Amino acid sequence: MRAARLEAIRTLALREVAKPRPGPGELLVRVEAVGICGSDRHMFKGEYPTALPVTLGHEFCGIVAEVGEGVSRFRGGERVTGDPNIACGWCARCREGRPNLCDKLTAIGVFRDGGFADCVIVPEGQAYGLPGDLDPLHGAFCEPLACCLHGLDVARIQPGDSVAVLGGGVIGLLMVQLAARAGARRIAMVTRQPVRRAVAISLGATEAIDPADEPVAALRDAVGGGADVVLECAGVPETFVQGLRMARRGGAFVLFGVMPAGVAVPVVPFDLLVNELRIESAWLNPFTHQRAADMVAAGTLELDRLISRTIGLDDVPGVVGAPAAAGDIKVIAVP
C-alpha cells in the first residue's frame, strides 16, 4: 500500500510499504479521507516531536477492512473516525481523568503510523462509529472538532459573552461556530486574509478584524472594552501577546495554537496580575471525540465551506511540505 512517510525532518515521501495486519484488539481501517493539519506542517519542520520514520496523518476516517482477534464492537464494513491520541490509562494523570496529559501518551500519525496511507491500524478503543451515509470528507473533521470542543470546555463561554478568535484557519472557523452555539453575543474573528474574514462572518462571527490595523484597539472598539473570552487559534507569538491584551479585566485567555517548542514571547506580568486574567491552555481532545463524532454525524456544523480542495496521496508530501496556500482552509487527502 502507499503511505506518506516522514523519514527525517523536512523529508516526506510517498512510499510503497507492506499493508499492516491488525493485531489483537486492533482494526485495519481503509482510509477514505484524511485532513491536513497545521500540526502536520509543524511535524514536517521538526517543530513538534514525532517518531522517525513515521506515516503522518491524524485526522482520518475510513471503513473497517479487517478486525483483529478479540475485537467485539466492529465486524468489518463500518465507517469509523479514529481518535489518534492513545493514553496509557494507568499513570497519575490518566487516573485523575486527564488522559491528554498522560505520561506515556502516544498518537497515531505522530508516534505510530497514521492516515496519509491507503490503510491505518486503529486500536478498537480509539475507533468511533460514523453513519454509513456520511460524507467521508466530513468524517475527517472529527479530530480537529474534538480538540475544539475541549477548547470550548476550558473557555467556559457563557451565553451573552463576547469572544475574540485569533486565527482564521479551520480551527478558528470551527471555534466561531461553536462559540455561536454556546450563545456568544459578539464574536470577533481576527485573521489576515480577507477571504477567511468573510467566511467567518458567514459562519456566525459578528465582527472581522484585520490584524494589520491596530488589532487590540479594533477588537476593544468592536466588543466594547475587551472580550470576555479570547481564543488564540493562530499559534504565532503576535497573537499570543495581542490576545492577552484583548481580554477584558477578569476575562479569560485560552491558548490553543501550537507555537514551535522553545519559542518564548514577551508578557507583562503586572498587567496580567492586576487584570486578574484567567489564562488557560487547551491541549488535544480528552473525552470529546464521541461528542465530535455525534456532531459531525448530525450535521450540526457547516463543514463544506471549510473544505478548500481534495488531493490524492501523491500530493500529500508537496502540500504538507509547503506553507498553507493563500485562501486554503482545509485540504483533505482522499486515498
Q: Where along the sequence are the contacts to ligand NAP (CB under 6 A)?
A: 37-39, 42, 144, 147, 166-172, 190-193, 196, 211, 233-236, 238-239, 256-258, 282-284, 324
1/241 with CB nearer ligand NAP = 241
Task: Quote the least distance from Cβ 191 to ligand NAP, whole Å.
Answer: 4
* Burial track 87-125 (b if 16+ CB lie within 10 A, e otherwise): beeebebbeeeebbbbeebebbbbbbbbbbbbbbbbbbe
Task: Quote the least distance from Cβ 38 to ligand NAP, whole Å.
Answer: 3
36/121 with CB nearer ligand NAP = 36
Task: Quote the least distance from Cβ 1 to ligand NAP, whole Å.
Answer: 27
48/74 with CB nearer ligand NAP = 48
Residue 225: CB atoms within 10 Å: 11
Distance CA(14)–CA(321), nearest Å, equals 12
DSSP reduced 3-state for 16: strand
Distance CA(168)–CA(193), nearest Å, equals 8
C-alpha count within 13 angstroms, C-beta hemisphere, residue 158 = 6
DSSP reduced 3-state for 239: helix
Distance CA(58)–CA(122), nearest Å, equals 11
119/149 with CB nearer ligand NAP = 149
Task: Quote the least distance from Cβ 243 to ligand NAP, whole Å.
Answer: 9
Task: Quote the least distance from Cβ 263 to ligand NAP, whole Å.
Answer: 12
Task: Quote the least distance from Cβ 193 to ligand NAP, whole Å.
Answer: 3
26/59 with CB nearer ligand NAP = 59
Which amino acid appears at position 87 of this protein?
A
Please, is 324 exposed, middle or buried when counting C-beta atoms within 10 Å of its C-beta (0-12, 13-18, 19+)?
middle
DSSP annotation of 316 reads H
Distance CA(157)–CA(278), nearest Å, equals 12
Beta bridge partners of 129: 80
Cell numbers that stand for 238 in this block: 503576535
Task: Quote the least distance from Cβ 36 to ligand NAP, whole Å.
Answer: 9
26/40 with CB nearer ligand NAP = 40
Q: Closest residue (Cβ) to ligand NAP? A: 169
Task: Quote the least distance from Cβ 154 to ligand NAP, whole Å.
Answer: 10
28/246 with CB nearer ligand NAP = 246
User: β-strands 26-35, 59-67: how paired?
Assistant: antiparallel
Q: By the 8 A CB rule, do 177 and 203 touch?
A: yes
Task: Quote the least distance from Cβ 142 to ligand NAP, whole Å.
Answer: 12
167/317 with CB nearer ligand NAP = 167
82/169 with CB nearer ligand NAP = 169
Cell numbers that stand for 94 in this block: 490518566
CA dihedral 110, 193, 177, 174 (to 10 degrees): -10
